[in-house]
Amino acid sequence: MRFEYKVITMKSRGMGLSTEKADTAFTEQLNQEGLLGWNLVNVMPYGASVRAFLKREK
């Protein structure tokens, strides 16, 4: 089985975003990626942002 990988960097709290707006934007982005077959593997903080690591079968 072969996989391809993708990294998404999203703003977290701060930088003018409320927690609710940041969570909503992140959730919407992940749902869009899920519709394209991407699976969330891991999430890590990255400065004032959050990085999501995704994979899907090729």
Domains of the chain: 3-57 (3.30.1660)
What does each C-alpha distance from 6 to 13, 20, 50, 53 come to in angstroms?
A: 22, 25, 14, 6
Q: Which residues contact 58 (CB under 8 A, 6 or more apart)?
A: 2, 3, 4
- pTM for the structure as a whole: 0.83
Q: Is the model's pLDDT at 22 over the cut of 90?
A: no
Q: Is the model's pLDDT at 17 over the cut of 70?
A: no
